[in-house]
Chains A and B, each alone.
Chain A
């Protein structure tokens, strides 16, 4: 299961092993509840555990970006392996998401 945690003004989302359409609907709904109720400004997607993603994951990121960016919030991606990084870059996510360098995952 994905984990949600609030640290200061950041909503940390630990994504599951596989991010597809089936699970992404749930992640988006839960994330939005945190964003609305706790008034968090920024969102951090943690890919530490993620080994599979398709365009549904891009939709989750884009959707959260649209929700928080007009209030000056930022979106971050951490612990993305080369595979996830490639998906993010192919979709042009580097223009709206801060893709953080982190320990290389194998």
Chain B
């Protein structure tokens, strides 16, 4: 039997997790897979899964190569937090690195400060394209926080009886 359940209160937190990991490139795959596993119970479509993985990969890579200047030091830490409010995912990726002087310019598609590292300047553009909402907060010398939101599992408001 299928019943339509009431739209969940979007303010109430229904799940939460937090991880901290070393700012080394091996952890890029770890981070996006952790988020993918976290949202699996929401039955995301393949498309939604790919969207989230790409966006997380972009933000984490930025923390590692820009925030921590690609040092690859185990002392440099990336913090990743995920919150579910009903079917809305909120992911926050935080580094305590160099920060961004001009966020608006940094978010321009094709802008990169590191063409020497073969960056293409598409990271923020991909995050914006694949998530519903993106908030960037940064302070030079203190670090950067990137918050992204996405509604998952477009049919999840129809719950089938277990």
Residue ranges of A at the interface with B (Cβ–Cβ < 8 Å):
18, 20-22, 24-25, 28, 52-56, 58-60, 62-63, 83, 87, 90-92
Contacts and interface: CB of A to CB of B under 8 A. Distances in A.
A83 B129 CA distance: 13
Contacts of A58: 120, 122
B125 A56 contact: no
Given A25-B25, A52-B57, 5 more contacts: A22-B25, A54-B57, A59-B117, A87-B126, A90-B125
Most buried by B among A52, A56, A91: A56
A91 B61 contact: no
A52 B126 CA distance: 13
B40 interface: no
Secondary structure class of chain B's binding surface, majority of residues = helix
Interface SS, A side: helix
Contacts, number: 61
Nearest to A20: B28
Contacts of B25: 20-22, 25
B65 A55 contact: no
Nearest to A59: B118
Interface of B: 25-26, 28-29, 47, 50, 53-54, 57-58, 61, 64-65, 110, 117-123, 125-126, 129
B82 to A, nearest CB: 18
Contacts of B28: 20-22
A55 to B, nearest CB: 4
Contacts of A59: 117-120
Contacts of A21: 25, 28, 57, 61, 64-65
27 contacts: A18-B29, A20-B28, A21-B57, A21-B61, A28-B118, A52-B53, A52-B57, A54-B58, A54-B123, A55-B58, A55-B121, A55-B122, A55-B126, A56-B61, A58-B120, A59-B120, A60-B118, A62-B118, A63-B118, A83-B47, A83-B50, A87-B54, A87-B126, A90-B126, A91-B120, A91-B125, A92-B110
A22 B29 contact: yes
A28 B122 CA distance: 18
Nearest to A61: B120
Contact of A20 (B61, B118, B126): B61
B118 A22 contact: no
A22 B122 contact: no
A20 B57 contact: yes
Contacts of B50: 52, 83
